[in-house]
Structure 1
Amino acid sequence: MITYSRKVFLLLFIMCLVSFLGQAQKSELLTHVEPPFWWVGMENPDLQLLLHGKNISSYTIKIEYPGVQLKKINKVENENYLFIDLSIAKNTEPGTISIEFKNKDQFFNYNYQLKSKNKSRDVGQAITSSDVIYLITPDRFANGDTSNDSTKDTVEKVNRENEDGRHGGDLKGILNNFNYFEELGITTLWLNPFLENDQRAYSYHGYAISDFYKTDTRFGTNKDYKMLVDKAHKTGMKVIMDLVFNHCGSGHWWMKDLPSKDWINQWDTYTKSNFTNIAASDPYVSNHDFDLLTKGWFDINMPDLNLENDFLTTYMIQNSIWWVGYSEIDGIRLDTYPYPNKHAMSNWMKALTTEYPDFYVVAETWAERASYLSYWNNSKASRDGYISNIKSISDYALYYSMVRAFGKNGDISELYKTLAEDFVYGNPENNKVFNGNHDVDRLLALLDDDVNKLKLSMVFTLTTRGIPQIYYGDEILMKNRRPDGRVRQDFPGGWKNDNRNAFTKEGRTKEENDLFEYVKTILNWRKKALAIHNGKLVHYQPINNVYVYFRYTNKENTMIIINNSDKDYINFELNRFKKSLEGYSKGKDIVSGKELQNLKKVNLAKNTAMIIDLVK
């Protein structure tokens, strides 16, 4: 006979066993919950969780947590997904929400964490024209941890001999070289995407993301990235994250089990984008061209995300907000900005800046004319009523003008004429200005190895209006042409077996060190150059391929002279610029260190520039 106490024990044992069995199947039944956690005290109280697991839509869901309301359970055509809408009241306490899942056969609980929002991010470190951005391709910069060169959870293994393969650079390699950034005078780091790219090949660049919430293990971990951001902040630097809304990688986990057919843009046969950015703003665009831009695939291994799907749009918006909250980054560069649904992108900007009003976002807007670019950076609605809500764009118009101006037989009037079109922008002072990046030939190659012309481009990039950005290695004469794998070349000294270390003076050639010191001088001077940070710009029509412009405030004035000609000008007259020189009697050229005792004439060597701090 079973005694009463034994009955109670047996009953408790059975209950625990059932509970254990239910919990034991949780990992199988619920394979993804994204975002992985969230915060209380957000400006937008709404949160939508993506739940993915076998037949998860057959479960009922129950949540009991003070301040958290389960507003709606959304089912989609794939029974392995649920999207649940929560509302989190302002006064909700941080803690763990127990989400109860139950159907006729099983039940389990999932613990979801709500954290305290970091109040310091309400202010943030806004990225402005006082900053200089240094762009890095992580796989090609430095290998700080050889143990993660190849990892078990990713398909492609390291092969440094393959220019399109994985070379082993990682987050620790970047962390190990912060002294290089500090010496050079950089204030902001922008890393090409570091999120997981689990592709069979050509995964090093980072733009075929297979998990939007996970750092690629060949680069490190999420904690490693947070450590990098924290290190940057401790040294007075800032960090920009590179995000992609337009496409994912074919190796993304959801590609094996899409929530719905319209999660990605699908065609009868593989259809590639036309890469014609201007189709997004062209008032006369054909439906054919528009669809190719916005729905065509970026590449065969990069499926095109359909941001007309509201669940996906919410997912991507929350993902960017999550990374800001988690890592405390200072800015985001948004890849291929004109390609996705432009209304979804506008809504994304509103959602992000609602949470973080001073947060910096720069859109990749690849078009050669300011008029094209102005569609995305405008202070008022465009003719079609569109407002992008973007305040910073990639100034490709000025980039191409630099290539033409400083190229063989180039005319510096190209810069003058392009800047004269700034009236089309809402905020040209916030444009990102660059003379090179990961998608184009190295500038030195485009300039036929003319180092003097490269120096002139550095002077212009670092002193004109806007937020300047330079590409890693350009400061040490890297000069490869495309294909991409060659442009994104390894930084010498980033690997232990390299025959030299260009991170140090001893490891650079005389020519490399000359350019490094040239750029370093300008960058470190620029940190305190308030006229460059906040000043207005006035420029004078170039004559004889000499361009003169001023950056000035009420208290400071800097005169920049760029002699883009092959002629020396002895006793170059400054009388034409007397209005801008009014009140100033002398100056100092920060490039050469020479003092100017008067401002009547200067000597200009061919293909050189002067940056003159004016003195009253």
Structure 2
Amino acid sequence: MTFGVRATGPSSVRDSDIRETITNASLETNHYHSSPTAWEDQQLYFLLPDRFSTGEEDDTLDSANKSSPRSIQPFAPSDRENAITSPEDAEIWRDSGTIFQNGTLRGIKSKLGYIKRLGVTALWIGPIFKQVSTDKYSYHGYAVQDFLKVDPHFGSREDLRDLVQSAHAQGIYVILDIILNHSGDVFAYKGGDKQWSGQKFHVDGFRDATGAPSIPFAPLDPDNLPEDPNNCAIWPSELQDVGTFTCEGAISNWNYEPEFLNGDFMSYKDIALGGNDPDTFEPTHALRTLCQVYKYWIAYADLDGYRIDTVKHMGFGPTRYLCTTLHEYASSVGKDNFFLVGEVTGDKAFETVETTGLDAALGIGNVQERLWRLPKGDIAPSEYFDLFRNATFLKRGLNAWMRNKIITMIDDHDQVWRGNDKARFCSDGGDLGLAALALNICSLGIPCIYYGTEQAFDGQGGSDRYIREAMFGGSFGAFRSRGRHFFNESSVIYQEISKICRLRQQYTCLRRGRQYLREISSNGKDFGLPQKLPGKMKSIVAWSRIFADQELLCAINTDPDAPTEAFVTVDNTLHASGETLNCIYQSPARNGLVIPGMVTIESRNGKAVWLKVPRAGFVIYA
């Protein structure tokens, strides 16, 4: 081992660059982008940097609606499955999905026009911090080795700041994915990998730049560093303290406490953050260090929020401390509504948000499952709509979500509710993607579109890779293709979702309104909520959003083959018989179907209107 070299860039939260950036920010609050008034007003879009864009996609428009020739050609139907024409090619395509595809922060910046024209107002970017260099499978960003640097696969910290500034200029907020629960595989246990058993295990040493555990498990001597120190151990240097890690081996039982709190997240090493009880909590040195790290990134890059990974495995105490610390710091730089969103798996998501001070949770369990199954006709609509409440005192204690406390999406990068059977919504070849996204965008919650869903990506398979296709093609493109990009602003779903997002921004009802699942009737006499019978439920599913004295009536059709008609109940007190509602949106109709531009309110079941919805379609009346 060669000694005497030095680490490049910031290596400690005590470095003058880090301290001054954190401190000076609170003195220059007017330089920072202010928070939105309400996050439920936003339309989120989530992407993984490695899988989104290189900036080399041809026939795409920038933020100024201009295009320049580029090397990656757009996808055409004839390109479908061009990467799997032989067993050998198919294996190459599958293997490519587990390694870096080389999307970049500059690539994301080049697609801000695409994102804005879709109707997005807030961009959630997967983690971008420096990964363990020997881990070629860490394209996803969750195996951090240096929390103070951007991984060179994605670019530089300057690229991050430039992206955020450019997004702000387009009216787009930026939320960054962060990790506190664990680091990457930065050390090795003596005798090999360990499983959690409630005991602490001995450590062989920190890993060097080759991946070998050759470095003593102790703080590195800054005057006598190993060769290539930037790729050794863990940074910032404060995290090299022995007490940083729990050292209890990998989790086997993901629901057993304290195992899921103290165990390693597979090969990723668990960081000791402190006890679970928020009322007696004392932060560890590691947690204090990471709080300084994430203050720094707020100040340096002018971020608007964080999505916090694996909150379940952090515990209530550390999460509350983090939320208090970051909310207070963000407020000191003028960001009074800095957004902290927790990834909370299991059955304690609602309790975690209420206890810790998180602003919201991701709806990745039963919320996502029911949002997925409803448009497909696989559940009764009430199973989804009953997850929400219109006021803080309604359904109290039933884990029903308020409009601004839950992020909803039909697709994401993990799909924890599906186990190892991963699949995007459109993987079954159906035609209900638009209806599903419309339900997502126009019902309660903060809606989020996962990249590629707006292009009907259909990935499926036995691991996460299959729902993390490269939007720019690369060697692991969507639809089993390679070398073709998917930034198609002419696609039907993209065009229609853009229209719906604009309406959501125009009508307060669709963002903040109360929500009511509506009864329907085929004969105008017998009304009831749509029910799931044997087989697929093929029906109109209608709901109202009401804010002040305005009602917007939304309806999807879960029948993918034929239009559906029914009487639909509306609010009895806001309308009089003979008044009309106007159609402000209808999805494309086929075979000469005419959707009424106006419907008349009749005295049925209180008040009702006769609706017609295209197959797999969506309408809004106001």
TM-score norm. by structure 1 comes to 0.70
Q: Which residue of 2 aligns with 1:537?
A: 515
CA contact (8 A) 2:513 2:545 kept: yes
Question: Helix, strand or coil for the counterpart of 2:374?
Answer: helix
**1:414 aligns to what?**
383
Does the Cα contact within 8 Å between 1:362 and 1:392 map onto a contact in 2? yes
Tell me the SS of whatever aligns to 1:377.
Answer: helix
Q: Are 2:348 and 1:364 aligned?
A: no
* Distance across 2 between alignment mates of 1:571 and 1:490: 40
Q: Using the alignment, how far apart are the partners of 2:572 and 2:545 within structure 1?
A: 15
- Counterpart among 174, 177, 184 of residue 108 in structure 2: 174
Matched residue count:
475
Q: 1:292 aligns with which of 259, 265, 279?
A: 259
Question: 2: distance between equivalents of 1:590 and 1:408?
Answer: 22
Change (3 A) 1:144 1:603: closer
Which string of whole-angstrom CA distances, capped at 9 and with x for unpartnered residues, describes residues 425-477 of structure 1? 5962211111111112343256x22122x222211110111211110001111
Structure showing greater Rg: 1
Cα gap change, 1:312/1:575 in structure 2, threshold over 3 Å: closer, same or farther? Answer: closer
Gap regions ≥5 residues in structure 2? 58-91, 187-230, 275-282, 416-421, 520-528, 532-538, 589-594, 602-608
Q: Secondary structure at the match of 2:386?
A: helix
2:492 corresponds to which of 490, 514, 533? 514
**Aligned counterpart, 2:42:** 131
The reply on whether 1:611 has 2:617 as its aligned counterpart is: no
CA distance in 1, matches of 2:569, 2:465: 49
Show the 5 A alignment for 1:154-193: 162-193=96-127
The answer on whether the counterparts of 1:159 and 1:167 sit within 8 Å (CA) in structure 2 is no
Whichever structure has more strand as a proportion of its residues is 1
Letter in 2 for 1:377: V
Check conservation: 1:165, 1:203, Cα contact below 8 A.
yes
Among 525, 529, 541, the alignment partner of 1:547 is 541
Correspondence for 2:201: none
Q: SS where residue 347 of structure 1 aligns?
A: helix
What does 1:475-486 correspond to in 2, within 5 Å? 475-482=454-461, 483-486=463-466
Cα distance, 1:32–1:572 mapped onto 2, change above 3 Å: closer
Please tell me whether residue 473 in structure 1 is matched to residue 452 in structure 2: yes
> How many Å separate the matches in 2 of 1:609 and 1:28?
57
Map 1:388-399; keep pairs closer than 5 Å. 388-396=356-364, 397-399=366-368
| Structure-2 separation of matches of 1:122 and 1:232 | 11
1:156-555 matched pairs, under 5 angstroms: 162-200=96-134, 201-251=136-186, 253-255=232-234, 259-267=240-248, 270-272=249-251, 274-276=253-255, 289-300=256-267, 302-308=268-274, 310-355=284-329, 356=331, 357-367=336-346, 372-378=348-354, 387-396=355-364, 397-407=366-376, 409-419=378-388, 423-424=396-397, 428-430=402-404, 431-440=406-415, 441-445=422-426, 448-452=428-432, 454-482=433-461, 483-492=463-472, 500-505=484-489, 513-540=491-518, 542-544=529-531, 545-555=539-549
TM-score by length of 2: 0.69
Aligned to 2:80: none
Equivalent pairs: percent with the same residue?
19
Is the contact between residue 38 and residue 322 of structure 1 (CA under 8 Å) also seen in structure 2? Answer: yes
Q: Is the 8 A contact 1:244 1:336 kept in 2?
A: yes
Ranges in structure 1 where 5+ consecutive residues have no aligned partner: 1-24, 43-87, 89-93, 95-113, 147-157, 277-288, 379-386, 507-512
Partners of 2:362 and 2:7 in 1: how far apart?
A: 44
Q: Does 1:559 align with 2:534?
A: no
Report the AA paired with residue 264 of structure 2.
Answer: W
Q: Deviations over 1:569-596 (max 9, x none)?
A: 7652235654454596221141348521
Q: 1:444 to 1:395 in 2, by over 3 A?
A: closer
8 A contact 1:139–1:170 mirrored in 2? yes
Amino acid at match of 2:168: H
Residues 322 and 117 (structure 1 numbering): CA distance in 2 closer, same or farther, change over 3 Å? Answer: farther
Shift in CA distance, 592/143, structure 1 to aligned 2, threshold 3 Å: closer
Deviations 1:282-324 (A, max 9, x none): xxxxxxx212100111121x10111026211101111111111
SS of residue matched to 2:45: strand
Matches within 5 A, 1:100-139: 116-121=27-32, 123-125=34-36, 128-139=39-50
Residue 522 of structure 1 contacts residue 591 of structure 1 at CA under 8 Å; is this kept in 2? no
CA distance in 1, matches of 2:21, 2:506: 37
Distance 1:143 1:29 in 2: 26
